[in-house]
């Protein structure tokens, strides 16, 4: 048995549940499950000893630390400033609003390599901004800071576009009611607005995090790609493939898959807890 969610009059726009469910399972199997299964089977063929030896190498661990650390920091920054940007675009009218709103999608439209070259040109020691930061002892390009900056650039649209519908659907009468009961603006924000948009914010954070973990093109240009220092896991996989070490590349990819899945599972668990708590409070 299944239940159609939504307007029952629109249930017949597509074929029935059996056909659409079959297409869904087939599509996900071909596009997602089969490649991931092949990856896991390939890495399992290495044996546990060789697999552990590969992923526990200091160079691999350093790339994991940089990749997941920079991705988490970038996603957190995007969650904070993406909320501010989405709030501004949703709640206020000002000249150039449509242009600013269109600029949010630029990281989607630009090839990642172009993004990396542009950021390097701006933040390199002789770049437009880097030449002023260098005398202050702040080096951006070719450092982990530059990698984080690139990940912030490519991840911002995920947070903004996820939050905009949630903020647009937020009933401002609730905020007015809270204000009439004596709540300050800060109290209204933390106790009324944040609990309502928190599921969307977590979704945007998860999308930005996942995008940052797998990023390659924009990072390799703004980082110096130094092993143990500024080498990300994606680049290390490419290096292994260039050396015809398919087994090593597969092992690193499988480890990244496991870690990423664990992180996303934890975020989904938090989302579920927040949603259940919101339903209980309602």
Say whether pLDDT at 3 is over 60: no
Cα 150 to Cα 141: distance, rounded to the nearest angstrom: 10
Q: Tell me what the mean pLDDT of segment 242-271 comes to.
A: 87
Please, are residues 79 and 205 in contact by the beta-carbon 8 Å criterion? Answer: yes
Q: What is the pLDDT of residues 104-149, one digit of tens each?
A: 998 888 888 888 899 999 999 888 998 999 888 889 999 999 999 9
- DSSP letter for 190, please: I
Say whether pLDDT at 5 is over 70: no
pLDDT at 153: 93
Q: What is the pLDDT of residues 77-108, one digit of tens each?
A: 999 999 999 999 998 898 989 999 999 998 88
pLDDT at 1: 47
- For 120-153, give the DSSP string: HHHHSTTSTTHHHHGGGT---TTSHHHHHHHHHH
Cα 127 to Cα 121: distance, rounded to the nearest angstrom: 5
Given the structure tokens 């709103």, which residue do they identify?
101
Instruction: List the CATH code of the domain at 49-281.
Output: 1.10.3720.10
Please, are residues 194 and 213 in contact by the beta-carbon 8 Å criterion? Answer: no
Q: What is the pTM of this model?
A: 0.84
Q: Tell me what the mean pLDDT of segment 253-267 comes to.
A: 88
Please, are residues 153 and 75 in contact by the beta-carbon 8 Å criterion? Answer: no
Say whether pLDDT at 227 is over 90: no
Burial of 31 (0-12, 13-18, 19+ CB in 10 A): exposed
pLDDT at 22: 82
Given the structure tokens 């390799």, which residue do they identify?
220
Q: What is the pLDDT of residues 151-173, one digit of tens each?
A: 999 999 999 999 999 988 887 77
């Amino acid at each position: 048995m299944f239940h159609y969610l939504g307007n029952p009059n629109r249930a017949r726009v597509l074929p029935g549940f059996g056909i659409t469910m079959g297409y869904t399972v087939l599509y996900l199997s071909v596009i997602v499950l089969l490649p991931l299964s092949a990856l896991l089977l390939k890495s399992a063929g290495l044996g546990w000893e060789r697999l552990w030896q590969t992923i526990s190498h200091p160079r691999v661990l350093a790339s994991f630390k940089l990749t997941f650390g920079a991705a988490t920091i970038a996603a957190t920054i995007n969650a904070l400033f993406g909320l501010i940007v989405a709030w501004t675009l949703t709640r206020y009218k000002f000249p150039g609003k449509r242009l600013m709103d269109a600029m949010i999608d630029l990281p989607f439209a630009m090839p990642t390599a172009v993004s990396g070259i542009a950021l390097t040109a701006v933040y390199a020691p002789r770049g437009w901004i880097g030449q002023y930061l260098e005398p202050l002892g702040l080096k951006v390009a070719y450092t982990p800071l530059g990698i984080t900056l690139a990940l912030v650039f490519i991840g911002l649209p995920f947070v903004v576009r996820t939050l905009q519908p949630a903020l647009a659907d937020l009933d401002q009468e609730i905020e007015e009611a809270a204000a009439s009961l004596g709540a300050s603006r800060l109290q209204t924000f933390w106790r009324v607005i944040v609990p309502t948009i928190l599921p969307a914010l977590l979704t945007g954070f998860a999308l930005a995090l996942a995008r940052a973990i797998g990023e390659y093109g924009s990072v390799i240009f703004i980082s110096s790609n130094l092993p143990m220092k500024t080498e990300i896991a994606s680049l290390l996989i490419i290096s292994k493939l260039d050396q015809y070490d398919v087994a090593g590349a597969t092992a690193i990819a499988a480890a990244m898959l496991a870690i990423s899945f664990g992180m996303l599972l934890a975020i989904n668990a938090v989302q579920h807890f927040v949603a259940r708590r919101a339903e209980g409070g309602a």
